[in-house]
Structure 1
Amino acid sequence: MKFLHDIFLFTVVPVILFSCSLETFNDNLEEKGENGYTFSESRKQWKKLKGKNGNSYEYVMLEQSFTGFGSETTITVKKGKVISRVFHTFIISDEDGTKTLTFVYSEDRESLGTHEEGALPVTIDELYKTCLSQYLIADPETNTVYFDTNEEGVISLCGYVPVGCQDDCFTGITISSFNWISRK
């Protein structure tokens, strides 16, 4: 009898638990952003667009606090390879909304990744993988999960905020700007 009990515990229970988490995960994948794309639709659209545009683009990752402090990392990708990363921190004035830069660096192909600050020098393909493996798996019972795209369907937001959190609680990816660049 103990043998049957052990088989049940080690085979049936994990399958039940795993299937519940898959259902939750699938719900997160089907969430549509303001521009009407789900994660799967967006990734499919991304594959078409990157082929059409030579897989060459530039995007800006934004991190910003409600206190006015923030940073932007501009990543440039040519033919599917990251070729540069530019990072700056800033403070936004409470009085007039102006942005004052407080720190800046720039990296080229040879120096990529030599600074700790800033978003990682990765491609949009890698951001889709990160979105799927780290953020869309968040439990919607304890987190509000977000996914959105720009008008073309390219990922622009992926992450979550713990339910009830008030300030600076977003964990994830925020792309504030995306542009295709010349293939040359």
Structure 2
Amino acid sequence: MKKLYLIFVLPVAFMFVSCSADAMQSILDIEGEHGYDFRESRAAWKDLKKEHGNSYAYTILEQSFTGAGSETTIEVEEGKVKRRHYIAFIISDEDGSKSITDSYEEDTKKELGSHSLGAPPYTIDHLYSTCLSKYLTVNTDANEIFFETNEVGVMMLCGFVPIGCQDDCYRGIRISEFHWM
């Protein structure tokens, strides 16, 4: 009975693994306008961070169609998060100006991550792992997947939008600014 079970179950299991591997392969091949797919971007990132001493700053943008939003800037020195700065804002319908409604700055090891608002204090390496495990693995039949880099290959966007969703549907990473320190 055990042999019979293995004869029928194993081929079916291999079929599902093979299909999901093919689906994952096509997702990893998604390229943005700068021509980098996920694997190429991650490889470029590894080379660039060595070249620049693994010290950089980036800003995560969250913004609603209503005009409310926030920016969290993370500073990383030699591969360790050193600072996090957060501002919440509302964009005026009348003139497009930005009014700050809340802010904080964390610049000690004890303070880092102590506020609940804003993007968590993660390195870009962590964001690449999150991109692959959380956003590029969603059901492609139910979601449109996005992956984008800057001109040198650093990931700037990784996420998805459920098909048919109308407002504030994007789930994922959106880096609005990046620079080396």
C-alpha deviation, 1:8, in angstroms: 4.3
Q: Report if the CA contact (8 A) 1:84-1:112 is conserved.
A: yes
- Which string of whole-angstrom CA distances, capped at 9 and with x for unpartnered residues, describes residues 99-153 of structure 1? 1110001101321011111111010011000001111111221110000001111
Is 1:162 matched with 2:162?
yes
Runs of 4 or more, structure 1, over 3 Å off, are none
Q: Distance in 1 between matches of 2:81 and 2:9?
A: 45
Q: Distance in 2 between matches of 1:39 and 1:81?
A: 23
Q: Residue 90 of structure 2 aligns with which residue?
A: 91
Q: Residue 132 of structure 2 aligns with which residue?
A: 132
AA partner of residue 115 (structure 1): H
SS at match of 2:86: strand
Matches within 5 A, 1:1-184: 4=4, 6-110=5-109, 111-181=111-181
SS at match of 1:147: strand
Q: Give the alignment's TM-score, normalised by structure 2.
A: 0.95
SS at match of 1:109: coil
SS at match of 2:164: coil
Q: Report if the CA contact (8 A) 1:24-1:139 is conserved.
A: no
Q: Give the alignment's TM-score, normalised by structure 1.
A: 0.94
C-alpha deviation, 1:76, in angstroms: 0.1
C-alpha deviation, 1:21, in angstroms: 1.3
Q: Report if the CA contact (8 A) 1:82-1:109 is conserved.
A: no
C-alpha deviation, 1:36, in angstroms: 0.8
C-alpha deviation, 1:66, in angstroms: 0.7
Deviates more, 1:105-114 or 1:127-136: 105-114
Q: Distance in 2 between matches of 1:75 and 1:112?
A: 10
Q: Distance in 1 between matches of 2:61 and 2:8?
A: 46
Instruction: For structure 2, list consecutive stretches of 5 or more residues without a partner in the other structure.
Output: none
Q: Report if the CA contact (8 A) 1:56-1:77 is conserved.
A: yes
Q: Percent identity?
A: 54
AA partner of residue 160 (structure 2): Y
Q: Distance in 1 between matches of 2:3 and 2:49?
A: 55
Q: Distance in 1 between matches of 2:127 and 2:15?
A: 30
Q: How many residues align?
A: 180
After superposition, the CA RMSD in angstroms is 1.3
SS at match of 2:83: strand
Q: Report if the CA contact (8 A) 1:88-1:102 is conserved.
A: yes
AA partner of residue 42 (structure 2): R
Distance 1:9 1:99, change over 3 A: farther
